[in-house]
């Protein structure tokens, strides 16, 4: 959906980051809200680490989960500011950047930061 004037610029994050962040945050959410159903014995070192954290630092992982989402929200708000600064005016494109950055964090924000809009030449 890239337009030559940059008003509706949007670029989807790579599948690698979409899958990685989705699985990671999904696992983290599972551990925070339903830790007793996580099959730690079947997950090797990750299961051992998870069991240790749940047993000894449950408030830390709970607060960390909220902090992670707060950081993603902050990144999404920064994406809105960057959209304004770079001339992305389309409400649809801005909404896509907000949602994608909220869900995938810096994997999305990095694409927007790298975007270099073509400056209109003044006559």
100 belongs to a structural domain? yes
Span between the terminal Cα atoms of the chain, in Å: 28
pTM score of the predicted model = 0.84
Q: Is residue 36 part of a domain?
A: yes
Q: Which domain holds residue 94?
A: 15-114
Residue 122 within any structural domain of the chain: no
Number of structural domains in the chain = 1
CA distances from 53 to 32, 48, 59, 76, 121 (A): 10, 9, 9, 29, 57
In a domain, 38, yes or no: yes
Question: What percent of the chain is modeled with pLDDT above 90?
Answer: 86
Q: Residue 101 falls within a domain, yes or no?
A: yes
- In-domain check, residue 120: no
- Residue 1 belongs to a domain: no
pLDDT for position 117: 85
- Give domain status of residue 40, yes or no: yes
pLDDT tens digits for range 19-41:
999 999 999 999 999 999 999 99
């Amino acid at each position: 959906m890239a337009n030559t004037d940059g008003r509706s610029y949007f670029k989807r994050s790579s599948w690698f980051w979409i899958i990685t962040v989705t699985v990671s945050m999904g696992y983290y959410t599972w551990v925070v809200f339903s830790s007793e159903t996580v099959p730690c014995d079947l997950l090797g070192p990750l299961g051992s680490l998870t069991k240790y954290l749940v047993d000894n630092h449950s408030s830390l992982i709970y607060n960390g989960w909220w902090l992670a989402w707060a950081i993603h929200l902050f990144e999404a708000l920064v994406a809105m500011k960057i959209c304004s600064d770079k001339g992305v005016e389309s409400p649809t494109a801005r909404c896509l950047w907000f949602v994608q950055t909220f869900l995938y964090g810096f994997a999305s924000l990095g694409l927007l930061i790298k975007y270099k809009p073509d400056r209109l030449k003044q006559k």
